[in-house]
Amino acid sequence: MPRPVLDEAAIHPAIQQKVANLNGDLLRQVQTDVASNTVMVFGMSGNPWVGRARKTLNAAGVAHGYLEIGSYFSQWRRRNALKMWTGWPTFPMVFVRGVLVGGAQDVQRLAESGELKQLLAA
């Protein structure tokens, strides 16, 4: 499932380094958190869907890591880097065993169907 990404040849050499490093610290932290936690949730304060996803995981007895990246009024540019990296347009972003499984409604469906337990048992 390749997603279109602007080819490096179409980026002027004078700005290639800036593009390559934009919010790189956040992306490295996210990648480390995903690798270090069986289940990892990325969210933002004030977003009720983040709380719903975490409540679903808690109700299923699933321990999970959590990283809050700002609020509706702060750090939106940094969150955009995460959206571009994953291709997922909303928060929360939930990863299970390094795989992006979606947001709150997606986690709810996985829990209700039993697939979440299967993913965790693998």
Provide the pLDDT for residue 122.
78
Rounded mean pLDDT, 20-47 = 97
pLDDT of 2: 84
- Predicted pLDDT at 86: 95
Please give the C-alpha separations between residue 69 and each of 66, 80, 98, 111, 121, in angstroms, as whole numbers.
10, 11, 19, 25, 29
Helices (H), the chain: 13-21, 24-36, 48-59, 76-86, 104-113, 115-121
CB-based contact 95:65 (threshold 8 Å): no
* Amino acid occupying residue 22: L
pLDDT in tens, 47-102: 999 999 999 999 999 999 999 999 999 999 999 999 999 999 999 999 999 999 99
What pLDDT is stored for residue 41 in this prediction? 98
Give the mean model confidence (pLDDT) for residues 35-47: 98
pTM of the model: 0.93
pLDDT over 90 for what percent of the chain? 94
Question: Which residues, in sequence order, are bridge partners of residue 94?
Answer: 41, 102
- For residue 80, the number of C-alpha atoms closer than 13 Å in the C-beta half-sphere is 5
